[in-house]
Chains A and B, each alone.
Chain A
């Protein structure tokens, strides 16, 4: 039985044990009860500041970590340790740093060919080579470059190699973890366009994790905002950007530097005071209340849950 959704994440929790004493460990709640769904061919943008758990969500979905609790379903099929090997054919990942995510001792051909080898997706050597060259063409790499090593390429080209590797198994879902963050603007635009083209051509869905909010808005259909391990707001990209409900989203969006002098001068930044609290020592109730201008006594007692605020737009806040 297949469901409407490609990916369903339900109450995902990822705790890491941190040694806080000789015999004592305290759980660091990197992801604390996150739920969302992604439809086939859709892009969900995941934004938040460093340490909010957005990368951990991506990695837990692919079982690069063993989740503490919660389920992830692919087309209605619950992902477990047993079937994850099979499901990695459907779900892939592109990493942030194109310098450290490619093995410097392997040629491009072997890097892109490795997932084909693992999943035995070819009958003979010729088919393997054809597939690799096809993938290289798909991401705009020159076929002559197949025998080169990763260090011979620029950052943008390396990111293309990483994307070709992810596409090798013909996945339906790719986690893009800050996939364009390390690139210069002119190259970033090339790679963003390529992600869009590939989606159109192959119908692949993305979980697009990034901290650059303008880029995320550009590429995403829907957006989820995270703060200290929880999703505080989720909805259609334009809806979230134009009518943010959660006070954190509001200030996060107002803090984005706008590349347009007139708009920038006329917009008011809502500057948050203080820093993000340590995830080892979270505030009671709503995690954002220590920096929130609307905080009341209730926020300290009860942690708000996601509620619909209209138009399929959910936010977790008592006061809005």
Chain B
């Protein structure tokens, strides 16, 4: 079965142990990623989307730890990998690019130096070949005059160029998976469009799978094969873009869609989600969203909602969806 998916995350729990207590950032996240597919993870700040990504790469802050769960890469559980194995995994099997290209490049080394580092580490190319590869990668991501650029320092490049360099670094060893953590959030819209276009193009050319982590529903609408909506460290809803945008089943997803201005410019009043995001230090016993949910029932307060499959095949973790589905089934059985 492991052939079908390149990455399987099973009931992942990640916590941070801080002075004020255990912050449960990820509380049982499960998803599968097939080779060459694009998965979008969307959620607001504190929803655990970035921590999920960092858990896969095992680059959590020193206070953070994976508590339980499995992350299977080609059937191997990488949470059991030792440091050396992880070093081989990062960059070669799975790479990550970050939100802020200003801080994720080292200011005291040239672009070429940083690009070559990954290539020299993971392949048996010598320095000259690595340099050739670096130039080739820069060309691939659309950096002009790559021969000149590899001698430049990060501060000499614009934000969009730096993000291109980050992508070149991440893809230099042809990983199977690219994790993009808010890759365009720090960029202007026209530059964002360039980078998104580039990522889609490279995905087609190189065939890697992408995990796209973002808070922007617009970014994931047209490029993802599957979308996961997260809230309070849990997956609320999982399905295709059409499922999520046109047939949302979870109250949180519905609320999110109601609180953004309409794409066609209709000036309808926005319907915000009441209340404030949950405090991860003090997770409720039941559904994480129930304090802000208009449809909350008694059971939502006490029990974590089960994942139910909707009639159209996508999944939602909501008691209301569960109840409605059970009622529909009952009616069906009676008829």
Q: What is the interface of chain A, defined by CB distance below 8 A to chain B?
A: 49-50, 154, 156-157, 184-190, 192-193, 196, 211, 213-215, 217-218, 238, 241-242, 251-252, 254-265, 269, 271-272, 275-276
Contact = CB atoms under 8 A, between A and B. Distances in A.
A218 B270 contact: yes
Contact of B188 (A49, A215, A257, A262): A49
B277 A255 contact: no
Contacts of A196: 269
Interface in B187-226: 188-194, 196-197, 215-219, 221-222
Contact of A193 (B221, B222, B272): B272
Contacts of B158: 275
Nearest to B216: A257
B9 interface: no
5 contacts: A188-B272, A218-B270, A257-B192, A261-B241, A271-B190
B50 to A, nearest CB: 14
Interface string B100-120: 000000000000000000000
A189 B260 contact: yes
Given A186-B44, A214-B263, A261-B242, A271 B219 contact: no
Contact of A257 (B218, B265, B269, B292): B218
Contact of B193 (A154, A211, A255): A255
B259 A186 contact: yes
Given A256-B218, A258-B263, A260-B245, 14 more contacts: A49-B189, A186-B277, A187-B277, A189-B272, A214-B218, A214-B261, A255-B189, A257-B216, A257-B221, A259-B221, A260-B263, A261-B245, A269-B193, A275-B161
A259 B263 contact: yes
Nearest to B273: A186
Contacts of B196: 257
Nearest to A190: B272
A287 to B, nearest CB: 14
B304 to A, nearest CB: 21
Contact of A50 (B188, B241, B245): B188
Contacts of B277: 154, 184, 186-187
A263 B193 contact: no
Interface string B144-185: 000000000000001011000000000000000000000000
Contacts of B20: none
Interface residues on B, range: 35 or more
A254 B261 CA distance: 16
Given A184-B215, A264-B222, A255 B190 contact: yes
B96 interface: no
B264 interface: yes
A49 to B, nearest CB: 4
B71 interface: no
Contacts of B270: 189, 192-193, 218
Interface string B255-280: 11111111111010111110011000
A241 B265 contact: yes
B45 interface: yes
A5 to B, nearest CB: 24
A308 to B, nearest CB: 23
A272 B188 CA distance: 12
A241 B261 CA distance: 14
Given A211-B188, A255-B189, A256-B189, A186 B272 contact: yes
Nearest to A49: B188
Contacts of A154: 276-277
Contacts of A252: 189-190
Contacts of A156: 276
Given A185-B44, A269-B193, A275-B160, A217 B261 contact: yes
A252 B272 CA distance: 27
A255 to B, nearest CB: 4
A49 B256 CA distance: 26
A272 B194 CA distance: 7
Contacts of A49: 188-191
Given A186-B273, A189-B270, A215-B261, A271 B197 contact: yes
Interface string B28-67: 0000000000000000110000000000000000000000
Contact of B269 (A193, A213, A260): A193
A72 to B, nearest CB: 27
A184 B271 contact: no
A107 to B, nearest CB: 20
Contacts of A269: 193, 197
Nearest to A237: B265
B248 to A, nearest CB: 12
